[in-house]
Amino acid sequence: MAEEYDLVVLGGGTGGYVAAIRASQLGMKVAIVEKEELGGTCLHRGCIPSKSLLRSAEVFRQTKNSEEFGITTGNVELDFTKVQQRKSGIIDTLHAGVIALMKKGKIDIFKGFGRILGPSIFSPLPGTISIEYENGDENTMLVPKNVLIATGSSPRTLPGLEVDGTHVLTSDEALEMETLPQSIIIVGGGVIGIEWASMLADFGVNVTVLEFLNQILPTEDHDVAREVERQLKRKGVTFVKKAKVLPDTLQKENGVTIEAEVENAKQVFSAEKILVSVGRQANITNIGLENTDIVVENGVIKTSGFYQTKESHMYAIGDVIGGMQLAHVASHEGIVAVEHMSGKKPELLNYNNIPACIYSNPEAASVGLTEQQAKDNGFDIKVGKFPFKAIGKALVHGETDGFVKIIMNKENEDLLGVHMVGPHVTDMISEAGLAKLLDATPWEISHSVHPHPTLSEIMGEAALAVEGLQIHG
């Protein structure tokens, strides 16, 4: 027997379960097929656990520096076991919440590996889902009118740097460490690598980052990347840029040793562990795409602006289609896809209006074009930049490094990009995102009254700085 559904979602991560909820709200009969736990990478191996560890690192750092605030604590010690227990408790709480949402939406959950079948006795179209179970139970067949592929991504590895969970780790294995290493080499200075570098440095680990390009955080504005690097160096992080790691040189004796080619010369690096952080790859292997006409390009599924694949009743969202690879992006893609398949007319997502955040210390956040991208696109620009050191609340917090940078199109005063680095900027970037969505100008941002004393005052000052009219700088 085969169960019929209006929609079957392959993958119960953030994008998948949010799409399922929206489909349920629209009156669809919905099922999710997930081989592990609801919540996916974001909840179990990404956003939430890593930010929990980053928060513990922040508290540890602040407690050690508490004398600056007139508070004497004595000897401060880290109990990493309790750090991990706190992380697990947060995951469990949120996981229970997701399960409750599924029950509220009357969404059926099948825990197994879903594979897309071609035309069969169940349906003349490809898209019947066969669910395979680890315990060997007979496969379940689901016959949906629509399919949404939301299977996410996994950490990318390098040949010759095979993950063993002991000496060579990805972020997945690092999240489960029972004890902290004394030293670590992080291969890759992108967002994930920098968050781990910041966290581990705050925990007291000796960190070396090997980055292939000439800039860490290569997708960020140059000024932001330079400021993050400056502050992390002050924590003791060592950066080696333009470093081509030579994986075949890996040795595992009394820790790990590896060579990298730097400025046409080989250098040897040693540490207790290596963390490979070189991006993520779409989970599209063995899910049955070969049984469909779905097109895969450069390792990701090709879709329309409404996330429709070449099979008109099959959609794909999130990391499997590439793009920004962020949980909040996948969620909104899922909503657009579900509304489109239900016959509504959703607005296309404008990725230029979507904020991105880096949760290191210092935090960084951005929306829109970098200064270089604006120039490369031919815009005649004005730039306003304002430092946190001139903001009273930043001094109160004891965090005065960093700035907000606003980029404006000189021709029509359109807001092109906003870039932040400093305290709590991941919470403040939403104002810039809303300004982009509403097509606000810097003048309009500056005329929005920001309460005093708050960190958010920096947005008004940076907006004024575009025309050289900042008040406190």
CB neighbours of 415 closer than 8 A, spacing ≥ 6? 368, 406, 407, 408, 409, 432, 435, 436, 439, 440, 441, 442, 445
The answer to whether 452 is a known catalytic residue is: yes
Distance CA(406)–CA(424), nearest Å, equals 17
Q: Do residues 209 and 193 lie in contact, with contact meaning Cβ atoms separated by under 8 Å?
A: yes
What is the arrangement of strands in the sheet containing 168-169, beginning at the earlier edge strand?
168-169, 273-276, 183-187, 206-211, 238-241
Distance CA(407)–CA(402), nearest Å, equals 17
Half-sphere exposure of 294 (CA within 13 A, CB side): 31
Distance CA(247)–CA(264), nearest Å, equals 16
Q: Write down the catalytic residue from 95, 328, 452, 472.
A: 452
Q: Do residues 197 and 234 lie in contact, with contact meaning Cβ atoms separated by under 8 Å?
A: no
Distance CA(93)–CA(363), nearest Å, equals 25
If you count them, how many residues does the chain have?
Answer: 473
Distance CA(346)–CA(326), nearest Å, equals 20
Distance CA(317)–CA(151), nearest Å, equals 9
Question: Which residues are annotated as catalytic?
Answer: 452
